[in-house]
Structure 1
């Protein structure tokens, strides 16, 4: 059972093997690194530790925080790290004072004095501490403080190194299928169902309107998506629209997330809903009239169900 701490004081672990970073998305590259940490901990009869930070440094350091959108909320990241098999997760509050620590100070005050590190596994491109530290500098500190040091990566998938930045770009472009290849799972959002204008019902496609749980979570590009919906303890196929409904509300209408859930006829409000994005089928289109929109929705249903059937989200007919 994973142990999660939001305070480093009083931390205890047997021969801690540690890695650290933001781990936004907990993608395939991260997972390979975490597996390496777990294997090293087993080799020395120790325990695996992930040290991560919250909030994101860009928010604290005012580096265009209004533009920052993340792949995982803190809750999602913690769950994914736990599922990877890590023994301990430390969520260290990131502050301006903390950001001013040099790598040497950070290692001495946190990794050595408070965690009692036995071994550090660093990502191949990981930098930390005010001003950063070179690989040779880190090796020297490891010798001085008598802990083991290893570097991991890079992981390469079809010639590409998975990174949170690359995955964010794919999702921002609407290419959720490509993002899922690097994540190792479908990208998902979570929120609550709220009341809408009930226009979907008039079109023959009633929708659940989703209000996101966390405003910092990245929303895919506008358009129509084939998706998997988790609601009331069950899973369904669905088609989701992200955008402003230009045919009905005009060009400058407010953006919404609405999902039509296949084989689901209940009206539910305030319930938690999670949506996994399988593939984007088309951009948002402004139609000349409602009949054109209805006809396109019928086409969307056929296309989306075909994709979900192919990907195993919907059971075979």
Structure 2
């Protein structure tokens, strides 16, 4: 999949099959529409194009509202869309100037002149242009003039998409990552960088990696303890035998083996914590993970946490000793979960 961060970077296609939307979560409802798009493109010997917007239009139109949180970051969304077989993803910067285009200008400039749309799959309630005054009827009329066809997504499908997105966000805020996974079709995840904490966890036998999520618009699940898997690229030393020699190796033909540094994606089990650490009177909301059977220093490392099961709510304990006892129970519950799903 080719990704474009601006319409001006996109080279107009001869036969673009297009859909438009934010597709936050890229859940089952979205996937149905995207599958329809990809299949239509193949059947018509065209190329599938998704036009999406960043930041989310509501962040620009209503900047005072800080309540909108997204299930996916833009990079997470792109990764999922690529896995679904989309050919092109155009990430259009959403600005007030862009939103103030007249509907007819938006159709001509964006869909026709920039993209080369021959067929567009769109919802019955799709609105666009200044004051959201453009609608499906306008698209169909323009299609007759410019030579593209319009395929309407059924009302029930649009309803299912909206309901699913709402339920996913609500489930995550309540900590119900299992229900969110049922709607998404994949585990909800957080991607962030490991930063230094106060190292209290290691003093009680449960060292944690503190995670910093750069994207402030990313939705974070409700406070509590979760069973998770952690993915990271670890540097490893690999001995290669009989491989093509490097330039340095050509100086010493007696060398039959050489060591090279490789980054390999590794996955670990663990338990994550989200909360303000009330037992030690914490003042900020933290995201931490205790990675099982792991003792490497990974400060500055980017990691991905997949949330699989909610274990318990965050509570304040009488002290570190009581917290340690509970963490041991949490670890046992996490291991029991992994054992149950592996059977």
Trace 1:84-233 onto structure 2 (pairs within 5 A). Answer: 84-130=84-130, 131-153=132-154, 154-155=156-157, 163-231=164-232, 232=234, 233=265
* Bigger CA radius of gyration: 2
Residue 314 of structure 2 corresponds to residue 284 of structure 1? yes
| CA deviation vs aligned residue, 1:164-219 (integer Å, no higher than 9, x gap) | 33322221121111111111111111111111111111222111111113222111
Query: What is the match of residue 8 of structure 1?
Result: 7
1:22 is paired with a residue of what secondary structure? coil
More displaced 10-residue stretch of structure 1: 99-108 or 5-14 = 5-14
Q: 1:160 to 1:145 in 2, by over 3 A?
A: closer
SS in 2 for 1:291: helix
2:271 equivalent in structure 1 = 239
Number of residues paired by the alignment? 309
Q: Which residue matches 2:239?
A: none
SS in 2 for 1:72: coil
Within a 5 Å distance, the mapping from 1:12-31 to structure 2 comes to: 12-31=12-31
- Do the aligned partners of 2:123 and 2:158 also contact (CA within 8 Å) in 1? no
- Say which of 305, 324, 335 aligns to 1:275: 305
In the alignment, the residues of structure 1 paired with residue 29 and residue 96 of structure 2 have an alpha-carbon distance, to the nearest angstrom, of 28
Match of 1:77 in 2: 77
Q: CA RMSD in A?
A: 2.1
CA shift digits 1:22-53 (9 cap, x unpaired): 11121111111111011111111111111111
Structure 1: tracts of 5 or more residues without a match: none
Confirm or deny: 8 A CA contact 1:228 1:276 kept in the other structure: yes
The answer (yes or no) to whether the contact 1:227–1:308 under 8 Å persists in 2 is no
Relative distance call for 1:169 and 1:192 in structure 2 (3 A) is same
Does the residue aligned with 1:274 lie in a helix, a strand or coil? Answer: strand
- Unaligned stretches of 5+ residues in structure 2: 235-264
| Whole-angstrom CA distance in 2 between matches of 1:156 and 1:93 | 24
Normalised to the residue count of structure 1, the TM-score between the two structures is 0.90
CA distance in 2, matches of 1:62, 1:199: 41
Alpha-carbon distance between aligned partners in 1 of 2:162 and 2:109, rounded to the nearest angstrom: 33
Corresponding residue for residue 325 of structure 2: 295
Q: What's 2:250 paired with?
A: none
Distance between the aligned counterparts of 1:175 and 1:195, measured in 2? 28
Is the CA contact 1:238–1:260 (under 8 Å) kept in the aligned structure 2? yes
Distance 1:179 1:76 in 2: 16
CA-CA distance at 1:112 after TM superposition: 1.5
Q: For 1:126 and 1:263, how far apart are their aligned partners in 2?
A: 50
Q: Which moved more, 1:286-295 or 1:29-38?
A: 286-295
Distance 1:129 1:87 in 2: 26
In the TM superposition, residue 236 of structure 1 has moved relative to its aligned partner by 0.9
Secondary structure of the structure 1 residue equivalent to 2:66: helix
Q: Which moved more, 1:130-139 or 1:119-128?
A: 130-139
SS in structure 2 opposite 1:67?
A: coil
CA distance, structure 2, for counterparts of residue 8 and residue 194 of structure 1: 36
Alpha-carbon shift at residue 256 of structure 1 (Å) = 0.7
Q: How far apart are the structure 2 equivalents of 1:113 and 1:279?
A: 48
Residue 298 and residue 156 in structure 1: after superposition, are their counterparts in 2 closer, same or farther (change >3 A)? farther
Instruction: Give the 3 Å change call, closer, same or farther, for CA 124–276 of structure 1 in structure 2.
Output: farther
Compared with structure 1, are the counterparts of its residues 3 and 20 closer, same or farther at alpha carbon in structure 2 (3 Å cutoff)?
same
Change (3 A) 1:302 1:212: same
Kept in 2, the 8 Å contact 1:170–1:176? The answer is yes
Asked whether the equivalents of residues 229 and 274 of structure 1 are also in contact (C-alpha less than 8 Å), the reply is yes
